Amino acid sequence: MVSIWKQKPAACLTVAIALVGLGIPLIVAWSIFGPAPTVSAPEAKRLLRDASTILVTVDPGLSARLPEAIVWPLSSIMEMRDVSQVPDRMRGKTILLICPGGIQSARAAMHLRRIGVDRAFSVWGGFQEWITQSSIRGIAGRVSQTSDAAKTIPLFQPSPLHEQFAAVLTFFGIKSMYSILAAVLAIIVWRETASDVAALRRSMVAFFIGEGFCFVNVVVFGDHILLFEHLHSIGMVVSLAFFVHALLEGLDTRLFHFSDESRCAAIGLCGACFKHSEVPCGLRRMFLLSVPLLGLSAALPLFSPLRDTAYSTLIFGTIYGYRHPIIHQLYELRYLPAAAVVLFSICFFTLLLVERRSVKLSKVLFSAATGAMIFSYFRLLLVAAFTERQVWFAAWEETSELIYVLLAGSALFLFPKIYPSVGSILGMRGEGSRA
């Protein structure tokens, strides 16, 4: 197994990220939503026109925001063991269950079905989806609590003209710009064989694919396909992981020469090199110290609150709903930090226990952990900063991603001599690729 990691670290990184970042979350999401009987928010509103249908909130905290809903706490539902325990006013009714993000209501709907309530449904996406699918008239004047219970925001917020311009220009302008740029960068270095450039190419390909899912989700499906947004997030995590791996490979093979038999560039700091004498390696000791500290730092988002804020606005006459689904926040602020902590821990013990020159596996694990941590922190910052004005969440996400792609491409054009394909484009002679 270790030999496979040594020979094909990039392939192993792809598999590791795919399993940890995509497979497990999808399995968990399917276990929550797959078996649950659901209806969309528009369908739920159509069903409520019939007197035999009732809207039930399983979260008492929603009662102020949904005064038309009957409060039936999830804890009370889960305690029931037989259909005879269902309250009289709900018997024979079509029960539409709702909660802030659609997770608690899915659990409630599945439990009610198990005990014999055949017409219980969960409203897909919960209150967040309910708001973004509402008409302006339906939510005008209502307010929603923020993470600070003392503060509220309107469920409909008019957007100033500059915010509307920001929303349109960043999504259609900046997103198109950096997507094209990422594709161009990948094509330019497509035939490069150097390990760091190959990792950078994979980073840009993953980024381009992820942004493609985001674009299709918004333009075609109105940003309501949760799977597409999850694949967008996966593309970012994979891209960041490969970008970190490219940095590590570049620093190692082109500057420090830690993994080969060449003279290590850090010998001026260490005084002697472990390759030629029996001395501890300073770089290895630095990583043994920094990896646990990064692992500890990666846990910070685990303690941040989830925010169920949602509101609608008008963007040049088109109603648009802003929300950051709780199911995505669970992935970004719970799953990814936990995965990063685990990967950093494995990386530490690999460095500690595996022979000191076997660093390829450690670089793969470190890259995967760092990619997950960076994206988690990125989304934490955006959610915390722009809970009440989520148009700026989207605007700054697009702007940051443009900066990221420009940063990724800058190394190729700042140092063209070491990249033959880039050097040929700029009319410079390259030094050749190293495998």
Render each residue's pLDDT in the chain as its tens digit; 435 residues: 556 655 665 566 566 666 666 678 877 777 777 788 999 999 999 999 999 999 999 998 888 788 889 999 999 999 999 998 999 888 889 999 999 999 999 999 999 999 999 999 999 999 988 888 765 545 544 555 444 444 556 778 889 999 999 999 999 999 999 999 999 999 988 888 888 888 999 999 999 999 999 999 999 988 888 889 989 999 999 999 999 999 998 888 887 777 766 666 666 666 666 666 665 676 777 888 899 999 999 999 999 999 888 888 889 988 888 889 999 999 999 999 999 999 999 889 888 887 655 677 788 889 999 999 999 999 999 999 998 889 999 999 999 999 999 998 887 777 766 666 665 655 554 444 444
102 secondary structure, DSSP code: S
Tens of pLDDT, residue by residue over 296-308, are 999 999 999 998 8
**Cβ of 261: how many Cβ atoms within 10 Å?**
9
84 secondary structure, DSSP code: G
What pLDDT is recorded for position 395?
95
What pLDDT is recorded for position 147?
44
CATH 3.40.50.11740 fits 40-154, yes or no: no
CA distance 251 to 54: 62
What pLDDT is recorded for position 389?
87
The DSSP H or E segment spanning 323 is strand 318-323
What pLDDT is recorded for position 157?
84
CA distance 414 to 427: 14
Domain ranges of the chain: 2-33+158-425, 40-154
Taking alpha carbons only, the member of 154, 158, 43, 58 closest to residue 107 is: 58
Residue-wise DSSP of 375-398 = HHHHHHHHHHHSSS-HHHHHHHHH
CA distance 145 to 151: 6
CA distance 189 to 198: 8
Tens of pLDDT, residue by residue over 397-428, are 999 999 999 998 887 777 766 666 665 655 55
CA distance 261 to 284: 16
Q: Are 292 and 344 in contact (CB under 8 A)?
A: yes
